[in-house]
Structure formats: C-alpha cells, structure tokens
Amino acid sequence: MAFGKQKTDENSFSGYKDVSGEFSNKMFQRAYWIVTHKIFLRNLLISALVFWCVISLGYSIFVWVKYFTVDYFEDEAMRAQQTIDLPDYTRIQAMYAAKKLKFSGTNIFKSAEDSYDFVTTVQNPNTRFLATVTYHYSYSGEKTATASAVILPKKENMLAVLGQKVDRAPSRGRLVIEHINWQRIRNHAIPDIEKHMEARLQFLVDDFDVVYTRAGSETVPTVEFSITNASYYSFWEPQFYIELLKGNNTAAVLPLFVNKFMSEETRTFELHPIMPIKNITNIRVLPNVNIFDTTTFME
C-alpha cells in the first residue's frame, strides 16, 4: 500500500468529463492525436503528392519518348495506307449516275411548201431516270424554236420540231441539246417501275391501212388506223408521234393529239400528209406522254 500523494499522468484522459454531452472522451483523444501528429501527417501528404507527381511525370515522359521514337512512324505509315485504301467515290457516283441518252441521226422531211420537219430518235437506257430534254435544231445559219421532250426510262421518243418555216431547203440539220434534266425515280415511291409503266402504256394499234387518192397530178395518201387505250387509266390529252415507214426507213413523222382518251376506249384516226408519200408499208406509234406526272391522268 502506498502512502502520500499519487503523481497524476498529464497525458491521461480518464479524468476528463464531458459536462456538455457534445464532446466525448474518445473524440477528445482523437483530436489530441491529430494535433500532436500534425507535422507527421503533413509530411506524409507531401510525400504522397511528390510520389504521385514523380510517377505521373515519369510515365508521361516515357509515353512521349515512345511516341516520337516508335508510334509516330507507325501512325504515318497507317495514314499513308488509309490514303491508298480510301474508296474512289467518283467511281461509285458514276455507277449510280444516269447513263447518257442514245441519239440517232437527224432526219429532215419536207412537210409542206416552205416547211420542214426536224426529227431525231432518242433512247433512254436508264431504268430509274426520267429525262427531260430541252433542244433546238440549227440549219443553214438559222435555228428552230426551242422545244422539250420527256424520255421515259428504258423507252424511246422523238425530239421533233415539225412544220419549221424556211426560206430555202436546209442542206443539213444539227441537233443542239440545251439542257437535260434528270429525275431519279425512288424505289420507295415506285418499287417495280417496269410494271408501273406497263400498266399505263397499253396503247394497241390496229386496222392499219393506206388509201391513195389523186390530187391533181399528185397521189396523196390517207393513213388509217385505230388505237385502243387498253389500260385502266384515262388520259386528258395524250400526244403521239406517228412514224410512217417505207420498209425499215422513216418516210415522215406526223403528230397526233387525242382529247380525253378514256380507259378501254378505241379511237379510229385518219391522217392526211400534205406531201405525196408513196409506198407506205407500216406505221409506228410512239406515245409522247409523261406517265410520272399525275396531271396527265383524269381522276
């Protein structure tokens, strides 16, 4: 048993009493430890930051050195290879662009005194392109009025200027194309374009005959035939070119306008060329209608 006054430990917290209830003995111990080790904690934080900076800077230097000594040259080689392997989009565009129209030679026919017809047959080889051609003819230092025609996909039509008044017989005529407007027919609008056209272009020609009559000293033909609109579509005023043939050769081209050509209707026609034309063996009827224009059809 010890006698006398007992020595009190200055670091002892057992005698601390929290009278407020807001700062416990354990919290006081933690706060005391932080205060007494503040310099140690600061040095530890600085050491950690220095270590992180050294690692980051060292890694950055390593990456940059590696890039300029190895990766840079690999990137340049890859860039050069990409340039070589880059697709030629001009060729791809050419694959999907419209093919050129095919023109026959220009024919000149005398249609009346001091009047001539200029005619060129044109074919559209494209499946999904509609061509609108603006053109005129030049001849003997003169030129005709400007005209336009629609060439349906995979179809043939005529670029004609009929009844051109001239002072003297033109020795030759030259077709001058002013502009071609291409209209692409989208798949989602018309999936089967061939059936779409076939359903509307059902003009059947029958009862062809040629009757020759004397007119003074000349023999003038009367061309008779019938056209049936065998489709389910009625047309407001379809136009046709009637090509008079001598064997396989074109003798003349005559225009034909039909007013309100109803579905499943048959019309009989008589055409009277002004100029005497002999030995007509057949005719060819070319519809000159734009079936992709909804205003062409009657409701």
Whether the per-residue pLDDT at 199 is higher than 90: the answer is yes
pLDDT on residue 2: 46
- pLDDT digit string (tens) for 120-139? 999 999 999 999 999 999 99
CATH of domain 99-185: 2.60.40.150
pLDDT on residue 61: 86
- 156-165 and 249-257 strand pairing: unpaired
pLDDT on residue 254: 95
Q: Which ranges of the chain would DSSP assign to H, the alpha helix?
A: 25-36, 38-66, 72-85, 89-96, 193-200
Whole-model pTM over 0.85: no
Q: Which residues pair with 5 in a beta bridge?
A: none
The pair phi, psi for residue 107, each rounded to 5°, is: -110, 145
Whether the per-residue pLDDT at 264 is higher than 50: the answer is yes
pLDDT on residue 19: 59
CB crowding 129-138: b at 16 or more within 10 Å, else e = bbbebebbbe
pLDDT on residue 59: 84
Q: H-helix or E-strand containing 138?
A: strand 129-139
C-alpha triplet 133, 134, 135: angle, nearest 5°: 110
Domains 99-185 and 192-299 share a fold: yes
- pLDDT digit string (tens) for 140-198? 889 999 999 999 999 999 999 999 999 888 988 899 999 999 999 999 999 999 999 99
pLDDT on residue 23: 57
pLDDT on residue 27: 73
Question: In three state form, how does the secondary structure of 48-70 look?
Answer: HHHHHHHHHHHHHHHHHHHHHHH
* 162/82: higher pLDDT: 162
64-78, 221-235, 284-298: lowest mean pLDDT where?
A: 64-78
Q: How many residues does the chain have?
A: 299
High-pLDDT (> 70) share of the chain, %: 86
Tokens 């519809």 belong to residue: 287
High-pLDDT (> 90) share of the chain, %: 57
* 97/2: higher pLDDT: 97
- Mean pLDDT value of segment 57-78: 80
Selection from 239, 213, 242, 237 nearest residue 225 by Cα = 242
How high is the mean pLDDT of the chain? 86
pLDDT on residue 91: 66
The topology (CATH level 3) of 192-299 is: Immunoglobulin-like (2.60.40)
CA–centroid distance for 65 within its chain: 51
CB of 271 within 8 A of CB of 242?
yes
C-alpha triplet 281, 249, 225: angle, nearest 5°: 35
pLDDT on residue 7: 47
Structural domain spans, the chain? 25-80, 99-185, 192-299
Whether the per-residue pLDDT at 1 is higher than 50: the answer is no
pLDDT on residue 3: 46
pLDDT on residue 214: 82
Band (89; pLDDT cuts 50, 70, 90) = low
Selection from 232, 228, 231, 284 nearest residue 258 by Cα = 228
Band (84; pLDDT cuts 50, 70, 90) = low
Whether the per-residue pLDDT at 278 is higher than 90: the answer is no
